[in-house]
Amino acid sequence: MANAHWMVQQPPANQQTVTQLLSAGLDQGESEAIVLASELPADLLILDESNARMVARRRDLPVTGTLGVLIAAKDAGMVAAIRPLLSQLSAAGFYLSPQIIAHALGLAGE
């Protein structure tokens, strides 16, 4: 990621809110992402943990998950299929329930 020139690392300014979200059970990355998305504001926040997504939605932040990104990429013609990508995610240790996989494949028309 250090060589990704299109990506900029930026800490959130409001560390007090980050601390509050940490106290509420979110992890550091989720907390910082939610606060930073509120500060920028972000067009879209990518979160996979259900608690973090719930907190983001309560703050009226637009949220999707990794599977939503993959489905959008397929819809945009950036990838031909998401099935092999889901397999790669699973092989890398990213947990996906069989129901979620079936739902994502259905949305992707696979």
Element (H, E) at 63: strand 63-64
Per 3-state DSSP, the chain is made up of helix, strand and coil in percentages (nearest 5) of 55, 5, 45
Share of the chain above pLDDT 90, in %: 86
List residues bridging with 63 in a β-sheet: 45
Is a pLDDT exceeding 80 seen at residue 5? no
pTM: 0.83
pLDDT of residue 102: 95
The whole-number average pLDDT for the span 28-48 is 94
pLDDT of residue 1: 57
What sign results for the dihedral spanned by CA atoms 94, 49, 72, 38?
Answer: negative
Query: For residue range 61-91, what is the model confidence (pLDDT) as tens digits?
Result: 999 999 999 999 999 999 999 999 999 999 9
Q: Give 47: exposed, middle or buried? Use CB within 10 Å, 0-12, 13-18, 19+.
A: buried
The whole-number average pLDDT for the span 36-53 is 93
Is a pLDDT exceeding 60 seen at residue 46? yes
| Residues whose CB falls within 8 Å of the CB of residue 48, separated by 6 or more in sequence, listed in order | 65, 66
